[in-house]
A and B are shown apart, each in its own frame.
Chain A
Amino acid sequence: MSARTEGHAILRGPRAEIDACQLAVEQAMAQHGYGREALFAVRLALEEALVNAIRHGNRHVPDGQVDVQWSVDGDEARFEVHDQGEGFDPDAVPDPTQDDNLEIPSGRGIMLMKAYMSEVEYRGPGNHLSLVYKRSKVA
């Protein structure tokens, strides 16, 4: 399989920056032969990760930035997303699939990331997210 492809972006919030980042990741994955299912999974998970970091992570950080790094090879795609906020406890987010919570409009981002990625880990105080998509996950 071809060599690893790496990329890096700094996001300040505008939608165009997220789209550009998603496009670069999609191109890197396509270059390594990932199929439609993988691209869908990563796009969805990365969308949730980036929007959470910008909207929630950096909410109280004036001019906050989100640092995104990715690394793709034939076996896996890895992402590191850092925001500049205080972090949070992901275990404190209520389970949105509980019957009592189904009508709550928010709180589904983390579960979607966990459903579509092979590994999802919040590090430090919760302002550093690591995501991994392993190719073996594809049926």
Chain B
Amino acid sequence: MTYESSRLRISAVRDVMRIDFVDRDILDEATIRQIGQDIQRKLEPMSAPKVLMCFTVVEHLSSAALGTLITVGSLVKKKGGKLRLAEIRPEILEVFYITKLNKHFNIDESAEAALKAFA
């Protein structure tokens, strides 16, 4: 089953909630707020969620977007779940390394690798 908001495509892959970003740019404050709210709404009824966020189409993201990822990560952790990030372009991956958020998040090269890591 796939759920679509204007900014996200959310699907279930076995017991993993896969979230794909629709926008190439995750910069606008209103967009970032909406992404955060949409994900939090989906997580609300879940316990110990396994969440995979795929950045396949994302070309730019801001520090505000990183902030939302951290908030989502904290919520997943609080619920006893696991969050993995995947399919991040090299330029964007560099942003994670610069901010040392590569230490905070589990990052996989591909969605397939992330799904394997969840298993």
Contact = CB atoms under 8 A, between A and B. Distances in A.
Nearest to A105: B67
Contacts, number: 56
Q: For this complex, into which size category does the number of interface residues on chain A fall?
A: 20 to 34
B99 A15 contact: no
A112 B60 CA distance: 13
B13 interface: no
A41 to B, nearest CB: 9
B103 interface: yes
Interface string B57-90: 0001011101110110110000000000000000
A103 B70 contact: yes
A102 interface: yes
Given A15-B30, A112-B95, A112-B98, A40 B71 contact: no
Nearest to A116: B98
Interface stretch (A2-10, A47-55, A125-133): A47-55
Given A51-B62, A103-B73, A105-B71, 9 more contacts: A15-B28, A47-B62, A51-B29, A51-B64, A55-B29, A102-B70, A106-B63, A108-B63, A109-B62
Interface of A: 15, 37, 40, 43-44, 47-48, 51, 55, 96-97, 99, 102-109, 111-112, 115
**Top 6 closest A-B pairs, CB basis?**
A105-B67, A108-B63, A97-B100, A109-B63, A105-B70, A115-B98
